[in-house]
Amino acid sequence: MGIGFRSGGEGFTGLEAAIVLLAFIVVASVFSYIILGAGFFSVQKSQEVIHSAVESSSSPLVLETPIYGIKNKSSGNIGSLMISVGKKYGSGSVLDMSSLTVIWSDKEDVFIVPKSDPLYSVNPATGTWGITDKQGDQDYLLDLGCGEYATLVINLSPGKEISKGNSFRFELMPPGSSISFGGVAPIKIDDVTYLYLNN
């Protein structure tokens, strides 16, 4: 009786099974590495989007001093507001103050206060806003980390002056963001009235 060879899979050895198993393990590990890498990449992109959204939604301006109301002696009302603003740390590049928009609102109206011409003015024209002083370089730019700030005056027109006990709100809008302040004028209006405002 001779020894013959049989056809079929009966000759599949343990070594071959181990090789096939290792191949499956290698392929599975490569796929899992790719999936994990894609997950880490998407998490990183999500964090970047969140950080950029938070930065763009918050204003680069910060209030440097209290806000003061200056009395119009002829009417007895607050005729202008004085506010000093600076550049918030970690808020990107320099800020061009000439691109600032000022929006005024009271219980009757909402309107944009036009810029004074020239923008630097000791006493901006009635119904306009201007820069009366700037700490640092005498330009329109607020630089980061230099301690620069600009003092703005919003000179209200006679029909928009703040009388005692009346509420008001204004908004400073650099490109892409805003910072707003509101309050109520006190019953007693001094020549210079400290306005307690809340963001």
CB proximity list for 181: less than 8 A, separation 6 or greater: 63, 67, 83, 169, 170, 171, 197, 198, 199
Q: What is the pLDDT of residue 114?
A: 93
Residue ranges of domains in the chain: 13-57, 61-195
What pTM value is reported for the model? 0.65
Reported as a single tens digit per residue, the pLDDT across 168-178 is: 888 888 877 77
The two structure tokens encoding residue 140 = 């329109």
Q: How do residues 101-132 score in pLDDT, each as one tens digit?
A: 999 887 778 888 999 988 888 888 999 999 88
How far apart are the C-alpha atoms of 78 and 153, rounded to whole Å? 12
The radius of gyration of the chain's CA atoms, rounded to the nearest angstrom, is 33
Q: Indicate if the pLDDT at residue 162 is higher than 50.
A: yes
At residue 78, the pLDDT reads 92
Topology annotation, domain 61-195: Immunoglobulin-like (2.60.40)
Residues 152 and 197: their CA atoms lie apart, in Å, by 16
